[in-house]
Amino acid sequence: MGSVTRVVSLVPSITEALASVRREAVVGATDWCTHPADLDDTLEARVRGTKNPNLETIRRLRPDVVIANHEENRELDVRRLRESGVEVHVTRIETVPEAVETFEHLFDQVLGWERPEWLDEVRDRWCGPLPDVTHTVAIPIWRDPWMVVGGRTFTGDLARRLGWANAYADSADRYPKADPVDIEARDVDLVLLPDEPYAFTADDGPEAFRTTGTRLVSGRLLTWYGPSLLEARALVET
């Protein structure tokens, strides 16, 4: 299609990545797209949430392409956009190397943009041999009901590349239900409590674990797969 000049992103990680290259071309993004912090200065419209995007707003923006993700966005919304003539590119990312390859394809083939320097740096930092395991962790991402990161997930792969073994990596479910009693029964060394998608805080989360240490961490650094990967190693330094 040539170089894309109008794109709507329905994925916070991808929004941040695209804005790092051509901010003015990102004309629409979800309410959850919080980076870069001044995105609204150039954005034409917010299109609501990742699970309930305003399809009419997206159509009015006349994007050359909408970027979605198989996990974060609904197949129904993708289908309805395509049926109305809007081109939608759906990404699938379950590991850090897949994230790098996805962005290379996006910039080279889908958007026709130059690759950002941070992408090569991310490949160099994250796509080498796996380090030795230092801790076994559990990573809740929701409560009421409690849910944790399971197998075949980007977050689980990132944790392993930080030296943390995911206690639920063998789960058939990508986000299985597991309450604190279940988690502590697995004899994990540490429970990581991110501030998104559920906003765990010092007063909401740690109190549920009686025998296992907890650590509040940045959800962006643990679950996003764009430029945030340049900062993600800070997770093991806190």
Two tokens, residue 189: 């060394």
The pTM score is 0.94
pLDDT of residue 237: 74
- Superfamily for domain range 7-93: Nitrogenase molybdenum iron protein domain (3.40.50.1980)
The correct CATH number of 135-236 out of 3.40.720.10, 3.40.50.1980, 3.40.50.620, 3.20.20.120 is 3.40.50.1980
Domains 7-93 and 135-236 agree in fold: yes
pLDDT of residue 1: 52
pLDDT tens, residue order, the chain (238 aa): 569 999 999 999 999 999 999 999 999 999 999 999 999 999 999 999 999 999 999 999 999 999 999 999 999 999 999 999 999 999 999 999 999 999 999 999 999 999 999 999 999 999 999 999 999 999 999 999 999 999 999 999 999 999 999 999 999 999 999 999 999 999 899 999 999 999 999 999 999 999 999 999 999 999 999 999 999 999 987 5
The residues spanned by each domain of the chain are 7-93, 135-236
pLDDT of residue 21: 97
> SS3 string of the chain?
CCCCCCEEECCHHHHHHHHCCCHHHEEEECCCCCCCCCHHHCCCEECECCCCECHHHHHHCCCCEEEEECCCCCHHHHHHHHHCCCCEEEECCCCHHHHHHHHHHHHHHHHCCCCCHHHHHHHHHHCCCCCCCCEEEECEEECCCCEECCCCCHHHHHHHHCCEEECCCCCCCCCCECCHHHHHHCCCCEEEEECCCCCCECCECHHHCCCCEEEEECHHHHHCCCHHHHCHHHHHCC
Q: Which residue has the tokens 């051509």?
A: 22
Compute the distance between CA of residue 238 and CA of residue 236 in angstroms, rounded to an integer.
6
Q: Write the CB contacts of 206 (distance below 8 Å, at least 6 apart in sequence).
A: 193, 200, 214, 216
Q: How many CB atoms within 10 Å of residue 167? A: 26
pLDDT of residue 186: 94
